[in-house]
């Protein structure tokens, strides 16, 4: 439980990755909703079970509560830029549970709109990816993290890894969406 005066950032810092992997069941469907700033407004039972958080520990907290430190900053920048522009995005994401375990998901994040067409939040559904998809994505993410670590600050890390991601995808002749979809079509769901 988050104690009075404890922020999500404090709580996340207190969670140390253990290296223990938690694998989603094939039928698991993790769902969460956030406000436009990424603050969690809803988390389904699968989210709570897999992340090892209680509902009162996640509601009202930034969604990055479950961000694993091994996730490249460029991927989150791409994700937020895409949904803020009103488009859906699919991404392979490594999350960090409250007990320090990690778990991979294939996330589909979509904007939610009000009656006037304004973005009022985001909806994310996540499923279990396959081992080949995780291996393919991990190889790319390893390169992004390496370039991020070589930068003097967070902003430079995002810029450098975003540039590298663009270069890697251009060499493949794909956008990030096409890269993700290629893994899905190869059975990487």
Per-residue pLDDT tens for 67-110? 999 999 999 999 999 999 999 999 999 999 999 999 999 999 99
Average pLDDT, the chain: 92
Alpha helices for 54-175 (secondary structure H): 55-58, 73-84, 131-149, 154-172
**pLDDT at res. 110:** 97
Nearest by Cα to 88 from 36, 123, 37, 39? 123
> Would you place residue 14 in the very low, low, confident or very high pLDDT band (cuts 50, 70, 90)?
confident
Distance of alpha carbon 47 from alpha carbon 159, whole angstroms:
31
Label residue 45 exposed, middle or buried (CB < 10 Å: 0-12, 13-18, 19+): exposed
Mean pLDDT score, 30-45: 97
**pLDDT at res. 147:** 98
- Residue 189: pLDDT above 50? no
- Residue 1: pLDDT above 50? no
CATH of range 8-188; options 3.40.50.300, 3.30.930.10, 2.40.50.140, 3.30.450.20: 3.30.450.20
**pLDDT at res. 46:** 98
Contact 91, 180 (CB under 8 A): yes
Whether pTM exceeds 0.75: yes
> What digits encode the pLDDT tens for the residues 119-155?
999 999 999 999 999 999 999 999 999 999 999 999 9
- The helix (H) or strand (E) run that includes residue 173 is none
- Residue 8: pLDDT above 90? no
**pLDDT at res. 161:** 97
């Amino acid at each position: 439980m988050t104690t009075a005066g404890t922020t999500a950032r404090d709580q996340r810092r207190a969670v140390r990755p253990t290296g223990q992997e938690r694998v989603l069941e094939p039928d698991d469907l993790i769902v969460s909703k956030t406000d436009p700033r990424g603050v969690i407004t809803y988390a389904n039972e699968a989210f709570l079970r897999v992340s090892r958080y209680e509902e009162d520990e996640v509601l009202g907290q930034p969604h990055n509560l479950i961000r694993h430190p091994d996730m490249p900053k460029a991927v989150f920048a791409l994700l937020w830029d895409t949904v803020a522009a009103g488009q859906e995005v699919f991404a392979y994401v490594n999350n960090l549970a409250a007990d320090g375990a990690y778990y991979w998901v294939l996330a589909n994040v979509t904007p939610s709109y009000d009656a006037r067409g304004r973005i009022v939040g985001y909806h994310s559904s996540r499923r279990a990816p396959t081992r080949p998809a995780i291996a393919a994505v991990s190889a790319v993410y390893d390169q992004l993290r390496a370039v991020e670590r070589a930068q003097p600050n967070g902003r430079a890390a995002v810029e450098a890894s975003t540039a590298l991601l663009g270069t890697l995808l251009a060499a493949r002749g794909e956008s990030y969406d096409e890269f993700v979809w290629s893994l899905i079509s190869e059975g990487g769901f």
